[in-house]
Amino acid sequence: MKQLSKETVNWLEVGAEEAGQRIDNYLIRWLKGVPKSHVYRILRSGEVRVNKGRIGPDYRIQGGDRVRVPPIRTAQRDVSSGHKSGPRIEFDVLYEDASLLVINKPSGLAVHGGSGVSLGAIEQLRVARPEARFLELVHRLDRDTSGVLMFAKKRSALVTLHEQLREGRVLKIYLALVCGHWRDAKRAVKVPLQKHVLANGERRVSVNDEGQLAHTIFRLRRAWADAKPPFSLLEAELKTGRTHQIRVHLMHLGFPIAGDDKYGDFKLNKTLKKHVLKRMFLHASQIGITHPDSGKPLRFDAPLPAELEACLAHLKHDHAEAI
């Protein structure tokens, strides 16, 4: 990605892989470090032109469009060391080709910037790959959830994968350690969930009959029934992709995820944090898709992080019942 001039008018030509996105998102990608408010100001003022004509912020660019960008004299911060950006991260790449990039996201990293964090996973990758003309999230993971995270490197791939997600053709498997003795080998849970915002602005999800259908299939992987307290390791297969779905379903059933600071057992979490577990034990272990170009089935597996393996090792294995 070339460096734009701060002193003269810039002309950009839209490539085929960039077609279809909104002009505001396109400019934000190019004008790294420039406040979004400034990007929208130059759009409203007509200083940005496409094919010599004025456009609004909702205009969707097409391949071959010529975009006029005025001189940007706003001081651009150094996103590699800016305030609240955090250290640069070397990602564990599970798979990459011309259409896809799949990583094993670490716990504690947001998938995108916001809420006081300027660089999430997508921003970190864009900084590390300035030559990438297109790089977008295919789906999301909670900040404290680790595991498989997919990015599209072409708009056509993004559209195809979003279609697979909507149609329920993507296999998504998580591993969760819960407090309690889970007895069923397999249990399907269909409980509607509704999002709401607390007075302090925090986003929460709760069980509500007026909410959206949420479907999770749980399978028991291992139980520590005689431990004090008892724990169970579950495999969770998402049939729908609602916000905080696994966490709220398990809380609703009386099996909070170990280390969950939103919906968990806060007293237990405090004890776990002192001794063995300093994060939420929820890991996106596997995703299966159809390749957006070749049509071949693909499966991506992310091994459990060392800190979660250590937590399992800490449990009393002589009481474990392997399933």
Distance CA 243, CA 201 (A): 16
* pTM, 2 dp: 0.75
* Per-residue pLDDT at 301: 97
* Residue in this structure with the two tokens 């030559």, named with its chain if needed: 131
* Per-residue pLDDT at 5: 66
How buried is residue 207: exposed, middle or buried, by Cβ count under 10 Å (0-12/13-18/19+)? middle
What's the Cα-to-Cα distance from 112 to each of 71, 116, 140, 184, rounded to whole Å? 27, 11, 9, 37
* CA gyration radius, the chain: 22
The residue type of 121 is: A
* Residue 257, both tokens: 């995820």
Alpha helices in 57-118 (DSSP H): none
Give the closest residue to 105 by CA, choosing from 311, 312, 285, 313: 285
Q: What amino acid positions are annotated as catalytic residues?
A: 142
pLDDT profile of the chain (323 residues), mean per 10 = 71 83 85 79 89 88 90 52 53 94 95 68 86 89 96 93 95 97 96 88 89 96 90 97 96 97 93 91 98 96 95 72 47
For the segment(s) 10-69, the CATH number from 3.10.290.10, 3.40.50.1820, 1.10.10.10, 3.60.20.30 is 3.10.290.10
Domains 10-69 and 170-322 in one fold: no
* Per-residue pLDDT at 151: 96
Give the closest residue to 36 by CA, choosing from 128, 140, 113, 97: 113
Neighbour count for residue 93 (Cβ, 10 Å): 10
Quickly name the fold that domain 170-322 has: Pseudouridine synthase (3.30.2350)
Q: Which stretches does DSSP call E strand in 85-161? A: 92-96, 100-105, 136-137, 146-152
Residue 294: phi and psi, rounded to 5, are: -85, -25
* Per-residue pLDDT at 67: 93
* Per-residue pLDDT at 2: 60
For the segment(s) 92-156, the CATH number from 3.40.640.10, 3.30.300.30, 3.30.70.580, 3.40.50.720 is 3.30.70.580
Give the closest residue to 238 by CA, choosing from 302, 285, 174: 174
* Per-residue pLDDT at 318: 47
Write down the domain spans for the chain: 10-69, 92-156, 170-322
Give the SS3 label for residue 164. Answer: helix
311 in Cβ contact with 276 (< 8 Å): yes
Q: In terms of DSSP bridges, do strands 297-301 and 282-290 run parallel, antiparallel, or are they unpaired?
A: antiparallel
How buried is residue 27: exposed, middle or buried, by Cβ count under 10 Å (0-12/13-18/19+)? buried
Give the closest residue to 253 by CA, choosing from 203, 216, 213, 286: 216
* Residue 79, both tokens: 């996103």
Positive or negative, the Cα torsion across 251, 150, 140, 290? negative
Distance CA 323, CA 321 (A): 6
